[in-house]
Amino acid sequence: MLGAVVAAATGLTLTSSGGAVAVGNEALTRDLDAILADGGLKGADVGITVRDANTGEVVYTRSGGRRSQVGSNLKVLTTTSALDLLGPDFRWKTELQSSGAQNGSTLNGDLVLRGTGDPTMSAARYKALADSLKAKGVTSVSGALVLDDTAFDSQPYGLGWAWDDEPYAYSAVTSALTLSPDAKFSAGTVVVTASPGASPGAPAQVSVFPPNDQLQIVNTATTGDDGVSIERDHGTNVVRVSGSTTSDASALVTVTDPTAVVGSVFRNALEQNGIQVQGGVRKGKAPQGAAVLASDQSMTLGQVMNPLLKNSNNMITEALVKTAGGSFTNGVNQLSRKWAGLGVDANWVEIFDGSGMSRMDEIAPDDLASIFVKARTKPWFGVWQSSLPVAGRDGTLVNRMKGTKAEGNVVAKTGSMSGVSALTGYVTTQAGRQLVFSIVQNNLVLWFNPKTIEDQVAVRLANDGGAQVMSTPTPKTQAVPQQRKAPAQKPTKVPAKERFDVECSWVNAC
């Protein structure tokens, strides 16, 4: 009886399969129900919501209000609320400060390197700060090089992050003083490269970029058949390079203390400029009223959206959270002030980080779809939408939905964790109707590829002619394997193209 009341109030028809669809879209309901009947989803929890992008009208829903883990789809909430809170023109600053006076070529007192969390900061930009100090005629610092990372608290990882992800680039430490060694802004990492020696059997040569004194390299790799492994021991800065190689092989490796790495890199930059620091290097806080000797600014937050969303960059996202409030907890609280304007009730979600890496995060497809509807009314919408991956074209969707009506049409955010997959975005039907959709899958078995379900849903929506609903063939149920497959391992153990438990960008598969 209650179901009848709800249906009457919303103008929806409840289907026997548990879906609810606007009257007149029976064919769409049938086809989406058939897709979700895939045998690979046995025992899984699947929620899906489809809405009109302009009016918010529900077109189809199935368990759309059920809270679930959504992986990197949480970045949808974090980025939109950060754009609302900080503004698209926000920039991070990194400064050289001192309360001492310059006497000739000597800076009397400490030299403070103060960071505010810029996840795009590079070794080259740290060198530019050192160059600025040289341009002032400084060749000696009588005090210490003080590393001020106090803009963020000392909690390295989000609550509920998996301990065994810790050595990998998608799970780095969030620090107010950090650096990114690559164009994707993999903050909190360095690049370790193994190169072949002069002859077969000779020891491989190992280099680190940027060079620093924080990593301990244990190299047993030789020159020979390709098959080198580069892995950091859990909880340490010991990096083991083993196997053999005939060509350069590189890996992004996280570090236990990004601030210390920055200190080493910046001191090297000072020394390259002929500037000697007499008092060593230590962590501390810049004194009140210290003068700014040199400053660096990041690109704008609006510009950061592209590498963040296209590549599903966790570390930029977590920097946003801590920038909002100094810690994971307070940052989420500050961002939550903007959730109501995005159609999300803070009382009915559980959020502990920004990237979705926490297994404690829970949000419903209805909420994710609402964000995509509300975002269209925001002044920063154009910048945000253009930063989302495009099916078959770029980002984490570059290899998906090619050759279909969804290619170049679907603009969406992916999400991937072991047992979790999600896709939320925009699609335009053949009749020109703009839709928002969100599909979230939980409790998945690891051998099953949930991306096929998401792609089928998106393609079906792209083929929907609107008033004249088009039917698609019912997909075949995927056979369940007779023998259990081995669970997916970490990136060095399983070919990237065979992994469904991480974003493809995290393992260089897209």
- Give me the active site residues, please: 72, 75, 312
Provide Rg for the chain, Cα atoms. 25
Measure CA of the first residue to CA of the last residue in the chain; give whole Å: 49
Alpha carbon distance 110, 503 (integer Å): 43
Nearest to 195 by CA among 251, 235, 128: 251
Quick one: DSSP state of residue 507?
G
Q: What does the alpha-carbon distance between residue 174 and residue 180 come to, in Å, rounded to a whole number?
A: 12
Instruction: State how far the Cα of 329 lies from the Cα of 327, in Å rounded to an integer.
Output: 5
Residues in the chain: 510
Q: Are 187 and 180 in contact (CB under 8 A)?
A: yes
Phi-psi region of 503 (alpha: psi -120 to 50; beta: other; left: phi over 0): beta
What are 112's strand-pairing partners? Answer: 97, 146
Phi-psi region of 403 (alpha: psi -120 to 50; beta: other; left: phi over 0): left
Chain centroid offset of residue 257 CA: 20
Q: What type of residue sits at position 378?
A: K
How are strands ordered across the β-sheet holding 111-115? 281-283, 145-148, 111-115, 93-98, 291-297
Residue 101, number of CB atoms within 10 A of its CB: 10
Close Cβ partners of 210 (under 8 Å, ≥ 6 residues apart): 123, 179, 181, 190, 265, 268
For residues 457 and 405, the answer to whether their CB atoms sit within 8 Å is no
Question: Could you tell me the two tokens for 152?
Answer: 């963020």
State which amino acid sits at residue 307.
P
Q: How far apart are CA 456 and CA 400, in angstroms?
A: 11
Which of 191, 408, 188 minimizes the C-alpha distance to 315?
188
Compute how many other C-beta atoms are within 10 angstroms of the C-beta atom of residue 1: 5
CA neighbor of 241 nearest in space, from 200, 198, 199, 197 = 197
Strand-pair partners of 440: 47, 422
* 79 vs 117: CA distance, rounded Å: 16
Yes or no: say if 376 and 392 are a contact pair by the CB < 8 Å rule: no
